[in-house]
Structure 1
Amino acid sequence: MTRELASAFATKNYFHLIGGCLEGSDAAFGVVNPATGEVFAQCPDASRAQFEQAVDAARHAYVNWSRMSFEERRRMLARLADAMEARLEEMATLLTLEQGKPIAAARAEIERGIGIIRHLITIVIEPEVLRNDSGGRVELRYKSLGVVGGIAPWNVPIVLAAPKLASALYTGNTMVLKPSPYTPLTTLLLGEIACDILPPGVLNILAGGNELGQWMTEHPGIDKITFTGSIATGKKVMASAAANMKRVTLELGGNDAAIVLGDVEPKEIARRIFQAAFANSGQVCQAIKRLYVHDDVYEALLTKLATIARQVKVGDGLDEGVDYGPIQNRTQYERVLEILDDTARQPGVRILAGGHVMDRPGYFIEPTIVAGIGEGTRLVDEEPFGPVLPVLRFSDIDDAVTRANDSRFGLGGSVWTKDLAMGADIAARLETGVAWVNHHLGVSAEYPFGGVKESGVGRANGVMGLKRNMEPQLIVLPAGS
């Protein structure tokens, strides 16, 4: 069934969603299946005129949408989640085709995106009474912003589009959403699903390249940008948004450190650490990217991790039983290879598993475990965003924390130990937006998520994330009101 769906998607026509209508474009670009390295479908490329139509439609729809009650908007978004669930297998198959992840992981991503929508629309946002006495009544209310521009990345396109969409729409905003040109098709399919459910103009989805993203960040008709991607692009988004004081929420990647203390049992934690480092073939912003291991368990944990790396199955995500897929695109594939080449030339480095491209079509790199490496190298200092894990040695916990924090990144981090109280104390010292103990990767939609330092601005999800899509307004009333 999965292969039959895949064949159908190669000949399918794809459309933008603009003002409640499904529209093609005069121009198109090819979408590559990273498991083969070949174009498998054509995607419409939005014109400037189509973008302007989408913004106009969103601004027009905002008038009525913002006046609806939370309950009315909740019902429509719940219908959207139900409709996505009914099309889950289609969405998952298309996601695997364009992103490369195993079909089981694609199904899980669609399910998680649905779950995020369903959770966020249960949150209640009420006015806050700051004062109510003989001196008067003061309330803090929250109002929608207007039109939100959402720019989603290629690594988990639906999971990262879902909270942008749900947060903006549920709080009374309308949206123009742009998926990555590497993975636009599943999001365009989402637009087809939404077309018959949401009022025209409430949600607009356009595919295109970097130029479309620039139009969004510069346009005076868009009131906020929510962006997930690289630090370099995030800085450009922030600078462009400053021209008309757009609000921004930026999640800009990470180089997460995990610290493993000497009291752990390597055999008990090795697989969990491996999964947290190599999820989506290492293409997760909050995956473990640097592993600091105490001298007492360093070699034992290395051996366990290398064994797992050699045992996992890497291949075409459409084949059942595959654990990990390819790097999503050629640009990223070549970047990871550059970092691997730099790593292999470092003195004292040991590559215990992997380190090579796979002898097959597509953008495949073996899961790689690297020992004997330190700071000052590309693999440790940069975010490789691929299936390569550096394992660094330490003997003093204060030294490990200092080294973990010596980074411009600050998305997530973790501590692994049998002493939970000590683990919590060490985790609190990490300069990150989230810190785990004996776990790494994944934050429920009920909690705010985001980074510090150059890993981002603001928070997504939870009450805090929803309020990032609203403007606080102080209402001051006389006594007796």
Structure 2
Amino acid sequence: MDFHGNYRMLIAGEMVDADRSLDVNNPASGRPFAAAPDCSAEQLDAAVDAAARAFRTWRHVPLKKRQAMLLRAADVLADNVDALARLFTQEQGRPIEGARSEIMTGVAWLRAYAQIDVPVQTIDKGDGQWIEVSHVPLGVVCAISPWNFPVNLSIWKIAPALAAGNTMVLKPSPFTPLCMLKIGELLRDIFPAGVLNIISGGDELGPLMTAHPGFAKISFTGSTATGKRVMESAAQDLKRLTLELGGNDAAIVMPDVDLDDVAPKIFMGAFFNTAQICIATKRLYIHDAIYDALKDRLSKLARMIKVGDGAEQGTVLGPIQNKRQFERVMALIDDARAQGLSLIEGAPVPENGGYFVPVTLVDNPPEDSRVVQEEAFGPILPLLRFSHVDEVVARANDSEYGLAGAVWSADVAQAVAIAKRLETGTVWINQNLKMRPDTPFAGHKQSGFGIENGLEGMLEYMAPQAIYVPKPQA
């Protein structure tokens, strides 16, 4: 397959062009290198109609046969991982090895959902009847995935939804549509026509999708602000929702840690993917006793890490993915400077028109400063002093978000006790950014609702059905 040029949408089993196109920029240069189709309203209707027709038969395909197709899809992606990774780096910016890792993580998710069984419960209370409780698919799913993990977070939706017996119309971000368009082409002959449709388009396409009456469910990953608009749109006809939204995740570092061991782990937990991760550490609370020592180690790492074009050897952190987000991150840094905060800047970055931001640490800013209160989604990290556990737990929980967090301590029992007090859906102990396909992932507060991953995530794409059956009279 040609992985360069000729990007088309998958609708009703056919590769389809559009009358209009969207430029796709390489964030390392800020310049366009390809164009993607800009789906029309009529083509959206065609995709939804194809998915609805396919659902009539797909829902009755036995689970094991659906899962066998997921395994074939996983094998196809694994066979094409190197070409997909190169394309991924061009459109997303992440270095090649990180791009390859994301695609193989998607492969692992497909394979995991090829193993999950959906239980059927039989209830017999001896009252002259028995009840069969099962789960049935919802119908056509609208899936909207983001630019920070364009492949993996698309597959997080595709794998459970299709395994559950639904059909799907997926729209990747207009900033990163190319890998998913090529994946649509790769998977075209694996699933029956209309089961999986992949379209691309600009900012106006998302609202058309969320308001479309042909969808039974919306699965959206993105910002909290956009998630609220999705929820409002879905309310018009009571579509089911899964919303994985923003986070301002806190990590707490206790004074008993081995600083040389944890500093690199904490650093990458904050800055991997240039900190464009909803579950990255975005507020780092450090005990007074080790604050200066850990700050010095993190500062040294910031000066050592190469920030640059992800296609270049030795690059660890790539650019911010798009100009809009680049400007937002730079505005936060400018505000911190204007407020007189102490900034520690890492290694110099290329000045070639790409969306590069140096790793930036902020030395103990006020709790009410923008850099603490807002989710940066870029390589700027506030370091915050604390003295007592009760104090730091209260500060960590004082947020509208509740997605993830971390606790670092040599005393694992103490760390677990602190973790249980944090108001987040996921907490890591002495680690960061670990996700499993068999473990539920869910946000608290304004970080969204609904569940992804595991059996619980698959059941989000299904509805329970109870059938009451009278027993024959003797």
Relative to the length of structure 1, the TM-score reads: 0.96
- Code of the residue aligned with 1:217 in structure 2: it is T
2:224 aligned with 1:242: no
Q: How many residues align?
A: 473
1:29–1:44: 8 Å Cα contact kept in structure 2? yes
| CA RMSD, Structure 1 to Structure 2 (Å) | 1.5
Query: Which runs of structure 2 are paired with 1:27-42 in the superposition (5 Å)?
Result: 27-42=20-35
Q: Is the 2:308–2:350 Cα contact (8 Å) retained in structure 1?
A: no
* Structure 1 gap segments, 5+ residues each: none
Cα distance in 1, alignment partners of residues 466 and 307 from structure 2: 55
For 2:344, the equivalent position in structure 1 comes to 352
Other structure's SS at 1:166 match = helix
| Residue 79 in structure 1 maps to residue 79 in structure 2 | no
Following TM superposition, by how much is the alpha carbon of 1:436 offset from its aligned partner in structure 2, in angstroms? 1.2
Q: Which residue of 1 aligns with 2:328?
A: 335
| Residue in structure 2 matched with residue 428 of structure 1 by the alignment | 420
Counterpart residue number, 1:384? 376
Greater CA deviation, 271-280 or 78-87? Answer: 78-87
Aligned counterparts, 1:464-475, within 5 A: 464-475=456-467
| Partners of 1:33 and 1:476 in 2: CA distance | 58
Please give the alpha-carbon distance, in whole angstroms, between the structure 2 residues aligned to 1:19 and 1:107.
Answer: 29
Please state if 1:262 is matched with 2:255: yes
Code of the aligned partner of 1:118: R
- Matched with 1:306 is 299
Distance 1:39 1:99, change over 3 A: same
Task: Give 1:361 deviation, angstroms.
Answer: 2.9
Deviations along 1:251-290, whole A, 9 cap, x unmatched? 0021100011111121120000001000100000000000
Say whether the 8 Å CA contact 2:224–2:446 is kept in structure 1. Answer: yes
Q: Structure 2-normalised TM-score?
A: 0.97
Is 1:274 the counterpart of 2:267? The answer is: yes
What is the rounded CA distance, in whole Å, between the counterparts of 2:221 and 2:472 in structure 1? 47
Query: Is the Cα–Cα contact under 8 Å of residues 9 and 41 in structure 1 kept in the other structure?
Result: no
Matched, 1:108 2:104: no
Q: Which moved more, 1:428-437 or 1:209-218?
A: 209-218
* Contact map agreement 1:134 1:480 (CA 8 A) in 2: no
Aligned pair 1:414/2:416, yes or no?
Answer: no
Query: 1:366 — aligned with what?
Result: 358
Counterpart secondary structure, 1:286: coil
CA distance in 1: counterparts of 2:447 and 2:236, whole angstroms: 22
Q: Structure 1 residue 134: deviation in Å?
A: 4.4
Of residues 166, 169, 187, the one that matches 1:173 is 166
Partner SS for 1:288: coil
Tell me how far apart the structure 2 counterparts of residues 318 and 39 of structure 1 sit (CA, whole Å): 16
The 3 A distance-change label for structure 1 pair 394 and 25 is: same
- Among the aligned pairs, what percent are the same residue? 48
Query: What letter is aligned with 1:218?
Result: A
Deviation at 1:130, TM superposition (A): 3.7
Q: Distance in 2 between matches of 1:441 and 1:131?
A: 44
Letter of the 2:381 counterpart: L
Q: Does 1:23 align with 2:1?
A: no
Question: Partner residue of 1:477?
Answer: 469
Compute the displacement of 1:356 (Å).
7.2
Residue 96 of structure 1 is matched in structure 2 by 89
| Structure 2 runs not aligned, ≥5 long | none
Among 244, 256, 261, the alignment partner of 1:251 is 244
Which residue, out of 400, 417, 426, partners 2:392?
Answer: 400
Tell me the SS of whatever aligns to 1:242.
helix
The amino acid of 1:360's aligned partner reads N
Q: From the superposition, tell whether residues 276 and 136 of structure 1 become closer, same or farther in structure 2 (CA, over 3 Å).
A: same
CA distance in structure 1 between the partners assigned to 2:74 and 2:223 by the alignment: 29
- How far, CA to CA, are the matches of 1:234 and 1:374 in structure 2? 29
Q: Given the alignment of the two structures, is residue 437 of structure 1 paired with residue 432 of structure 2, yes or no?
A: no
| Cα distance in structure 1, aligned partners of 2:306 and 2:124 | 61
SS at match of 1:67: coil
| Aligned residue among 153, 157, 161 for 2:150 | 157
Mean CA deviation greater in 136-145 or 235-244: 136-145
Within 2, Cα distance between the matches of 1:480 and 1:179?
53
- Residue 113 of structure 1 aligns to which amino acid in structure 2? G
Tell me if the contact between 2:284 and 2:382 (Cα under 8 Å) persists in the aligned partners: yes
Moved more, 129-138 or 23-32: 129-138
- Cα gap change, 1:215 to 1:478, in 2 (>3 Å): same
Asked if 2 retains the 8 angstrom alpha-carbon contact of 1:226 and 1:248, the reply is: yes
- Alignment correspondent of 1:121: 114
More helix by share: 1
- After TM superposition, give the deviation of residue 447 of structure 1 in Å: 0.5
Equivalent position SS for 1:318? coil
Mapping of residues 279-290 of structure 1, within 5 Å: 279-290=272-283
Answer yes or no: is the 8 Å Cα contact 1:355–1:368 preserved in 2: no
Q: Which amino acid aligns with 1:458?
A: G
- Give, in whole Å, the separation in 2 of the partners of 1:385 and 1:131: 52
CA distance in 2, matches of 1:136, 1:467: 26
Contact 1:158 1:187 (8 Å CA) reproduced = yes
3-state SS of paired residue (2:219): strand
Q: 1:130 to 1:371 in 2, by over 3 A?
A: farther
Q: Aligned letter for 1:477?
A: V
Secondary structure of 2:402's match? coil
The corresponding residue for 1:222 is 215
Aligned to 1:66: 59
CA contact (8 A) 2:248 2:402 kept: yes
Is the CA contact (8 Å cut-off) linking 1:132 and 1:138 kept in structure 2? Answer: no
Q: CA deviation at 1:372?
A: 2.3
